[in-house]
Structure 1
Amino acid sequence: MTVTGILLAAGRGRRFDPSGRRNKLLQTLGAEDDSGGPGSAVVVLSARHLLAALPRVVAVVRPGAEAVAAQLLALGCELTTCPLADTGMAASLAHAIGRAREADGWVVALGDMPHVQPSTIQSLKTALEQGAGIAAPMYRGQRGNPVGFSRRYLPQLLALEGDQGARGILKHSPVTELDVDDIGILQDVDTQADLHPKDNT
């Protein structure tokens, strides 16, 4: 079974910087990180953790995001640009899935979640390989990201629209929930305060 990573890195991050001058994905984390060391960009850490568990990662960016694209290409991600990225996350997700539609399953990760452990991603991959239709990680009773989807959801993923991503699919479908010791599944970089070190234990 072939499971492909999907990295969503096409958002504008307006809450992080309403002016749009600072792309949150390119900001560096102050925390020491085993994968990237201090000073690695948010999107670099997110991508590295995905690449550590999956042999193929398709990253989607918005038009004009050359700096983000360059960093992801340097890491070994396959890159695709979604011309409709500004219409919402669903457009970016559907676009990326279309690029990797031949896969048997996908682990969909967010470019602004750099604390997710590779072991969590590996657990999602294993769940898909063992027959789960949708797999999601749980930390102390809270569901987080990334989320794994099997090929049976390909038509629904390709048909996504709006800014809710795949939430509608998750709401109306059975989900295999995996308990993980990884608070990173709940931690995104939404504001500048989120760049400060956090305990990921």
Structure 2
Amino acid sequence: MRQVAGLLLAAGQGARLGTPKALVEYRGERLVDRGVRLLHEGGCHPVIVVLGAATLQVRGAVAVVNPDWRTGMGSSLRVGLAALPPEAEAVVVALVDQPFVEPAAVRALIDSGAPVAVATYGGRPRNPVLIARGHVERVAAMANGDVGARPFLTAYPELVTEVEVPGDPRDIDTPEDLTTLTGED
């Protein structure tokens, strides 16, 4: 069994939401804590969380701060990938604003044995993604602005294994999304 780290991108300010998404609570749990739990329960160790707009304590994870978080997800992905421990053979990258992704999705990516794997829901590729150590440098080099691994995945489709997973990939970007997804006002 290969050692797979988890990487939770949680640095954004949530401009459209009005608050950093990491701080949003759903059923009494902050989204950042939910994301850490997702990765742990899916089989990742250690879990690294990239913070930026909000600086907070995160239990069960190594927190790193992206000083350039305002430039977008690309810089957060680079900071997180740079923090991977040397023993990590791969990393599963997840986003803090997808609270309905299930640990089984993470486990399916790991169990695929693929060097690059993308979770799909009903045949549509979404997050999380798994990247083997040998591709981390190229992924980091191509991550810019408000995109993460997408440029790498698009440039090297022959490397990508799509893995159909259970769960719901919807994300929370606006107060309306939060109300719709949670049923709470």
Shorter-chain TM-score range? 0.7 to 0.9
Q: TM-score, normalised by structure 1?
A: 0.81
Identity of aligned residues (%): 34
Q: Report deviation, 1:197.
A: 6.2
For residues 129-180 of structure 1, give each alpha carbon's deviation from its aligned partner in whole angstroms, at most 9, with x where no partner exists: x2x1210111112111100001121221232322211110010113101112
Partner of 2:175: 192
Contact 2:22 2:54 (8 Å CA) reproduced = no
Partner of 1:60: 50
Cα distance in 2, alignment partners of residues 196 and 47 from structure 1: 23
Q: Report deviation, 1:198.
A: 4.2
Paired amino acid for 1:28: E
1:27 pairs with 2:21? no
Partner of 1:6: 7
- SS at 1:146 equivalent: strand
Contact 1:8 1:108 (8 Å CA) reproduced = yes
Which runs of 5 or more structure 2 residues have no equivalent in the other structure? none
- State which of 66, 71, 93 in structure 2 corresponds to 1:87: 71
Paired amino acid for 2:128: P
- SS at 2:127 equivalent: coil
Partner of 1:112: 97
For residues 84-118 of structure 1, give each alpha carbon's deviation from its aligned partner in whole angstroms, at most 9, with x where no partner exists: 11112111101111110522111000011111100
Larger proportion of strand: 2
Paired amino acid for 1:125: I
- SS at 1:144 equivalent: strand
Partner of 2:29: 40
Change (3 A) 1:42 1:164: same
- State which of 117, 132, 136 in structure 1 corresponds to 2:118: 136
Q: TM-score, normalised by structure 2?
A: 0.88
